């Protein structure tokens, strides 16, 4: 029952994002960023990381799903505002079905992040056993993350 509720929660979040009427800002005015770096010794199966961010300023839900394809990965999660909340950070070890909720303690921050970007570093070995990997989260104030406009 709990599993079905979680799936419905994820589907509802994705649907809200698609139906959101809030305008998306221009590409050169991205808000805060979460940069994710992995430097793993190894991983088993095909792990995926679900990250859901709530953009507080525009009332948008922004889901990200990252597939671990290599030991060294670099991903970036963008918000369109300065204020956001990480509502879901879940690692799933496929095909084993083992899930790690609140992966890297990103949901544990609990409060809305105001004008803070993050670098998340994941190292070690991703396995079905907790404690074989480590996460380091660095927070820093960042006014804007500019993306060059195509010309």
Q: Is the pLDDT of residue 86 over 50?
A: yes
The CATH number of the structural domain formed by 31-141 is: 2.60.40
H helix intervals, the chain: 2-19
pLDDT tens track for 38-68: 999 999 999 999 999 999 999 999 999 999 9
Q: Are 135 and 121 in contact (CB under 8 A)?
A: yes
Q: What is the pLDDT of residue 118?
A: 93
Q: Is the pLDDT of residue 82 over 50?
A: yes
In whole angstroms, what is the distance from residue 5 CA to residue 19 CA? 21
């Amino acid at each position: 029952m709990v599993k079905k509720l979680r799936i419905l929660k994820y589907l509802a979040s994705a649907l809200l994002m698609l139906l959101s009427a809030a305008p998306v800002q221009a590409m050169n005015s991205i808000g805060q960023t979460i940069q994710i770096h992995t430097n793993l010794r190894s991983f088993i199966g095909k792990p995926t990381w679900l990250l859901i961010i709530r953009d507080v300023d525009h009332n948008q839900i922004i889901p990200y799903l990252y597939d671990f394809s290599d030991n060294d990965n670099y991903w970036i999660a963008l918000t369109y505002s300065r204020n956001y909340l990480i509502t879901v950070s879940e690692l799933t070890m496929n095909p084993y079905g083992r899930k790690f909720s609140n992966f890297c303690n990103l949901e544990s921050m609990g409060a809305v992040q105001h004008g803070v970007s993050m670098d998340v570093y994941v190292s070690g070995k991703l396995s079905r056993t907790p404690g074989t990997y480590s996460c380091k989260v660095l927070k820093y104030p960042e006014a804007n993350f500019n993306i060059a406009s195509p010309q």
